[in-house]
Structure 1
Amino acid sequence: MYISITPQKISEGYSKSSADFVNYLEKENEGRSPENVEQFFDQFHDRIDHNHVVREIDANTKKLRNRDPRFYSITISPSQRELRHLDNPDIQLKEYTRQIMEEYAKSFHRETEIQVENIKYYAKIEHERTYKGFDRQVRENAPFNKKIIHLRNEIRMVDRGEIPGSIPKLEKEILNLQAAIPHKVNGIPIVEGMKKEGLQTHVHIIVSRKDISNQFSLSPGSKHKASEVQLNGKTVKRGFDRDKFFQNAEKAFDKTFGYDRNYVEKYRSHKIFSRDPQRYFSQLLDLPQTEKGMAIKLLRQTGIEVPNIHIPTNQVQMALQTIKQVKRAMEIAVQSSSIGI
């Protein structure tokens, strides 16, 4: 499970309105008949029109400064393994989104407990994803595509008489490179912007910075972690507990759908990896054989090769360069949602 929280972009060239973001989320509805349009939903209502979403989010900005985000975007991206576990992803992910937003509300520290009824949000299910530049398949195809472009430019120059050369020979080189490209979908080389194959259902949520009464600011931003402040002579906690939110979101999925989460899929494991890769691989290789086999299989599906050696728990010995390379590969895999957190 990959869950991200992103603030609205506030800078020159970006609108303060939520309209651009909401319209972007309407991209899958283009060309659909009215009865087949995927609409927004919130905690208590289904089939909410996108124009209503824009009006509600844009109007809920009382006393926010010009540089304050008006809203945050939460993306819920289950892995293909998690999606295959679900019987009806559309219905079940809608149920799960409502559970997650309850956990989102509980993760705020305030004088009085925040309830999901205090949160103004709208969510939308999407079924398609496209390859991004940081995806492993795009990166590994890139050198081949670069050479092909270079050869095609040479063919044009030869054809114009600008340089000597054999066009048939250059065309043969291109065919050889096209055959050698490692990643394809139905015989077509993967490039940035191409639709991803397989199950890609995910959820986008737009949540207002202000509570539903338009009185209080509720920021989940990284600069607003839980902290203690003095308020009316009392020490109270303020901020948003991201760890609590991510952990409870993961537990909610597993409990609701009876999902047996592997070591490499756990949020706790990813935290260990980011702080201590040696400890991460030591724990991975100490797992029971069945779970370890699945863990290595899941990692290799992302293009990460796990060292095929025993690493003692109390005396980890792995080359520093190897750790750096694997760590970078893991970071890229997380960004592309091929490994969840």
Structure 2
Amino acid sequence: MNIMYITITAQKLGSTYSPSSADFVDYLGKENQGMEEGNENMEYFFNQYHDQISAEEVVREIDDNTAKLEKSEPRFYSITINPSKYELKALDNPNLDLKRYTRELMKDYVASFNREINGRPVSIDDIKYYAKIEHQRTFKGTDKQIRENQPYATKILQLKHNIEKMENGTLKGNIKKMERRIKKLERQAPHQQNGQRIVQDMVKAGSQSHIHIVMSRKDASNSFSLSPGSKYKASDIELNGQIVRRGFNRDLFFDKAEKTFDRTFGYQRSFTEKYSSRKEFINNPRMYFNSLMRLPTNEKTIAFKLLRESGLPIMGSIPFNKAQVALKVFNKLRQGLEVAIKSSSIGI
């Protein structure tokens, strides 16, 4: 991924909301499995003011902070912050830098609520959250690499089953020939990593550091509901003669998150990496295309390089100096990027 994307989701267990954060917190501990307490590589939870918070404390604090919530309401939300490989290169120390960024990001998060608590804006001390940094990602069944390798995986599995039958005498055939076919299929699979066919659950190569945040639906006092998944956009309404503020401004949050990263690490964001550009790509592709074509040559080169790296369906090469390039081709790009834009949204 060559753009940062952030997801915010209410945690569900099937069709209902999870009654406890225990399973989710346990899932976030997967990279610590097999490590002894005190191992320098062990990643602990942290919040705005404290480090090395245990998983047990996170579960207790989140699960005990659900006063007056119905079963039909989410108890907690998760936020995932996924920096791009280019953004990760801008970090000197991923652990310390991402922790610092998280704490700044959560200030942007509370500033995006159009709410008041006891007559004042929501502050960082009003939310109860715990974050954890992970450094690995694995290929999932929904990934393009797995899906496109699947026909080869199916054939390889069938050949292996046939070899087992030959070995136990229930099928006649040439085992050596079967093994050569398997090796050939392994090489022919379109997606490889370090000379091996990419398979589900394989650890992805390169820097994969990202941040998971588990956050209580209720404020720190367990009195007010603060939902980033509010059905209301940030707005003011009159209720019983009084002006009531409500909602969460997701656009503001994503925009602030990007600017905070750039300011914190001195990151020079290119045109195609900007959240505003990606929105324009979806909402007004012709304007986006015109803006792209007006970029200086070096920036334009970078822009198309990033678009190609996204795995978008670029049909051939798009000449930089021809504004009459087929818009139909460009619209195919737009359809591909729409997936990335949806990732940078709140899914409930």
TM-score (norm 2): 0.86
Partner of residue 306 from structure 2, selected from 276, 298, 319: 298
Q: How big is the shift at 1:232?
A: 3.9
2:222 is equivalent to residue 211 of structure 1: no
SS in 2 for 1:34: coil
Counterpart AA for 1:244: L
Deviations 1:102-135 (A, max 9, x none): 0110111124311111111111111111112232
CA shift, 1:264, in A, is 1.7
Q: 5 Å matches for 1:1-341?
A: 1-11=4-14, 15-36=18-39, 37-111=42-116, 112-155=120-163, 167-221=175-229, 223-304=231-312, 306=314, 307-309=317-319, 317-319=326-328, 322=329, 325-332=332-339
Cα pair distance change 1:305/1:168, threshold 3 Å: same
TM (norm. structure 1) is: 0.88
Task: Report the alpha carbon displacement of residue 183 of structure 1 after superposing the two structures with TM.
Answer: 2.3
Structure 2 residue runs of 5 or longer lacking an equivalent are none
TM-aligned CA distance change 1:154 to 1:330, over 3 Å: farther
Per-residue CA deviation, residues 176-213 of structure 1 (Å, 9 max, x unaligned), is 22112232222221112111111111111111100111
Q: Identify the range of structure 1 (221-230 vs 109-118) with the bigger mean alpha-carbon deviation.
A: 221-230
1:38 is matched by which residue type in structure 2? E
Bigger mean CA deviation after superposition, 32-41 or 256-265: 32-41
Unaligned 5+ segments in structure 1 are none
- In the superposition, relative to structure 1, how do residues 40 and 161 fare at CA in structure 2: closer, same or farther (>3 Å)? closer
CA distance in structure 1 between the aligned counterparts of 2:186 and 2:78, rounded to whole angstroms: 39
In structure 2, C-alpha distance between the alignment counterparts of 1:130 and 1:190, rounded to whole Å = 10
| Identity score, percent | 52
Range with greater deviation from structure 2 (220-229 or 250-259): 220-229
CA deviations on 1:66-95 (whole Å, 9 max, x unpaired) are: 111011000111111111111111111111
2:214 alignment partner, SS class: strand
- Whether the 8 Å CA contact 1:128–1:196 is kept in 2: the answer is yes
Aligned residues: 334
Amino acid across the alignment from 1:30: Q
Q: Is the 8 A contact 1:8 1:71 kept in 2?
A: yes
CA contact (8 A) 2:6 2:343 kept: no
RMSD of aligned alpha carbons: 2.7
Rate the CA distance shift 1:336–1:141 in 2: closer, same or farther, 3 A.
Answer: farther
Could you list the per-position Cα deviations for residues 287-316 of structure 1 after superposition, in whole angstroms to 9, with x for gaps in the alignment? 211111112112222322545145977x77
> Secondary structure of 1:20's match?
helix
User: 1:123-177 deviations in whole A, cap 9, x for unaligned?
Assistant: 1111111112232322332232233234444555677787776554443332222
Given that residues 192 and 198 in structure 2 are in contact (C-alpha distance below 8 angstroms), is that contact kept between their aligned partners in structure 1? yes
Instruction: Tell me how far 1:5 sits from its aligned partner.
Output: 0.5
